[in-house]
Amino acid sequence: MTARLSDDEYVDAIIRVAQADPSIGRVLREIVSLATEVRASALDLVSAHLKIHSTAGDVLDCVDALKRDAVARRLAERLGSADAPSQGASPAA
């Protein structure tokens, strides 16, 4: 059994991947700008899809980390997202 990474370690790893592929950075900016509940629900669907395809546990752990507001906030800051993750209701259209 491997130890779970800290939030900072997840952020660092995710940023390294996003720097290697700009399209990932764009998607991550969208994800972290979502309201907490919306982000968690969307990532639950992603996790369910990945589990069907027997995705590695570390990838699923990373998806779970994206649900945490602290991780989303740090990613938004590091990615230069104009929208910080909001708690509660979705942003107004």
Rounded to an integer, what distance in angstroms lies between the CA atom of residue 65 and that of residue 13? 11
Contact 33, 26 (CB under 8 A): no
What is the per-residue pLDDT for 92?
38
Interacting residues of 21 by C-beta distance below 8 A, sequence separation 6+: none
Residue reference for tokens 């590091």 = 78
Task: Calculate the average pLDDT of the chain.
Answer: 85
Q: What would the pLDDT profile of 51-86 be if each residue is shown by its tens digit?
A: 998 888 888 999 999 999 999 999 999 998 545 554
Rounded to an integer, what distance in angstroms lies between the CA atom of residue 34 and that of residue 54? 27
- What Å distances lie between residue 66 and 37, 74, 93, CA to CA? 12, 10, 23
- What Å distances lie between residue 23 and 20, 28, 56, CA to CA? 9, 9, 22
Does the pLDDT of residue 87 top 60, yes or no? no
The mean per-residue pLDDT over the stretch 5-33 comes to 93
Query: What is the pTM for the complete model shown?
Result: 0.77
Q: What would the pLDDT profile of 35-45 be if each residue is shown by its tens digit?
A: 999 999 999 99
